[in-house]
Amino acid sequence: MRVQFTRAVASPTLAARPGQIVDLPDVQAQQRIDAGHAVAVGQPKPRLRDRLPGRRRTEPRTSAKESTVSQTRDGAGDGKALEKLTVDQLKEYADERDISLPDGGRKADLVAAIVAALSAGE
């Protein structure tokens, strides 16, 4: 594996200056990379958050709309989650549930109408 040294290294088997590119066996190259002495050449550099322990995200992120829809279906939607949606998303949400909305209403009016319709439907 080809590595580029980030700092000066001197050992009985290897001497390298910062910026020098050397071809090393995979095991030795990985040891130098893990120690922070070198970076792999020709491979993407790992992001800092991927190298820090406990910072890896294992669950995929959900969008605000998906979380709001799931909260409302579970009965936890009290309008606060709906306020995160855009006006277009609110209209789409109301259309999916056959909720009538006021014409030319502002976002607050749309949220209030949806909350009222959901409360009446329960």
Please, which pLDDT band fits residue 8 given cuts at 50, 70 and 90?
very high
Q: Is 19 left (phi over 0), alpha (psi -120 to 50) or beta?
A: left
**Residue 41 confidence (pLDDT):** 86
Average pLDDT of the segment spanning 32-60: 72
Tokens of 7: 């700092």
- pLDDT bin (cut points 50, 70, 90) of residue 74 is very low
Domain chopping of the chain, boundaries: 2-47, 64-121
The answer to whether the CB of 113 falls within 8 A of the CB of 121 is: no
Tokens of 68: 């709001």
Asked if pLDDT for residue 14 goes beyond 70, the answer is yes
More confident residue, 58 or 1: 1
CA distances from 109 to 69, 91, 95 (A): 18, 11, 15
Alpha-carbon span 56 to 66, nearest angstrom: 22
Find, among 105, 85, 104, the residue nearest to 96 by Cα: 85
pLDDT at position 5, please?
A: 92
pLDDT tens per residue across span 80-112: 688 888 888 888 888 888 888 888 888 888 888
Section 9-21 average pLDDT: 89
Q: Which residue has the tokens 């669950």?
A: 59
